[in-house]
Each structure stands twice: as C-alpha cells, then as structure tokens.
Amino acid sequence: MGPIKKNITKKTTKKNPVKKSTKTTMKDLKFFKKVALLEHLSDDDIRKVFDITVKRHFRKGNVIMREGENGETMYLFYEGRVEVLNALTLRIGKSGFEETEKSMVKLDAKFVGFFGEMALLQDAPRSATITADSDCILYELSKQDFRDLCKKNPRLGYKLVSKMAEVLSGRIRRSNKDILKLTTALSIALSR
C-alpha cells in the first residue's frame, strides 16, 4: 500500500464551499470495495484508484457540476443525496419562451455508487447540472489522473472502462424505454 498521492485539505468558505481532504481510513477503503465500478477489483487495484481521488465535502445547495461546462471529473458517491437537473426551453404564452431547469431525478449514495463518468470517457460538455440535495461526501477522480492510471495499468484501465460501459449501456436501455413510453403517451394525447 503506497502513500496517498493527493494530500489536500482546504477549508470551506463562502467563496470556496467545497472542502477537500484525503485522510485515509479503513472505512473509506471499505467504501471503495462496495462501489459497483470497483467491486470486481483486487485490493491493490482499489488502492490505486483510491490514491488518485480527492475526498470532497459539498454543502446542501452547492453546485457539483453544471450542464454545458467542460467535464473534467467524475465522483464516487460516499454520502448524501444529489439532484440532477436539465435545462429546458418552455413556451410561455403565444410568443414567448423561457429557459428553466427541470429536476430529472434525485440520486442517493445508498443506491448510486458514482456519477459524472462520461467526463472521463469523452471531451464533451456536461449533460446535466448536479446539485447537493443534502450535505454530501464525494471522492473526485480527474480525467487526467484516470488517463494516467490507465496508461500505467492497462489491465486495470480496461476493467474500469468496461464497467463504465456496462453502466452506461444500462442507463441507455432504461432511457430508451422511458422515451418509448413518453412518445406513446404523447401520440395517444395528440390523437384525441
């Protein structure tokens, strides 16, 4: 077990509402073993991933990531709840339009192990805004550290990317079913 690569502690202030720390505990490492993305890895591989993450604390209401911004990080979800929001343009009256954010889903650390993984796989803007719905503890993994890890450990990189692909495929399947239900309901409503 090597030393922790990132040793950062930062106080939470109004200008900087995010607190960073990397004090290692057995509880933290046990958490990593339970995350779906990592549960199939050896203890040594889990430690390699742990060593390149930064533990972050977000207060309720803090924006964790914003739709449209360039994605550079993903998060392992240790504790708390977040809300996923998407920008929508709505017609207001006969000639007006208004942009608003629509809550798409709330995620709870008890049920969701990670989010933001698309940022590690492609250079594209964030697809949603995510805000802390309660105080949250997250482990941040940067795109550059992830890519460096994959270059140094191709087998580990393959395992991580394969698991991300599996999770993303499942999300796409669920979204396709949701779209089919919505288009069917719209078709029925318009035919009346």
The CATH number of whichever domain residue 46 belongs to comes to 2.60.120.10
Give the model's pLDDT for residue 103.
73
Give the model's pLDDT for residue 7.
32
89 assigned to some structural domain: no
pTM: 0.74
Domain count of the fold of the chain: 1
Biggest distance spanned by C-alpha atoms of the chain? 66
140 assigned to some structural domain: yes
What does pLDDT average to in each consecutive run of 10 residues of the chain (192 residues)? 36 45 68 90 93 95 94 94 85 72 80 89 91 96 96 95 86 79 81 82
Rounded Cα distance, 112 and 110, in Å? 6
DSSP secondary structure letter of residue 171 = H
2 assigned to some structural domain: no
Give the model's pLDDT for residue 71.
92
Residues 6 or more apart whose Cβ sits within 8 Å of residue 45: 38, 153, 156, 159
Measured in residues, the chain has a length of: 192
Domain of 25?
18-79+107-191
182 assigned to some structural domain: yes
164 assigned to some structural domain: yes
| Full DSSP string of 60-89 | TT-EEE-TTSBP-EEEEEEESEEEEEEEEE
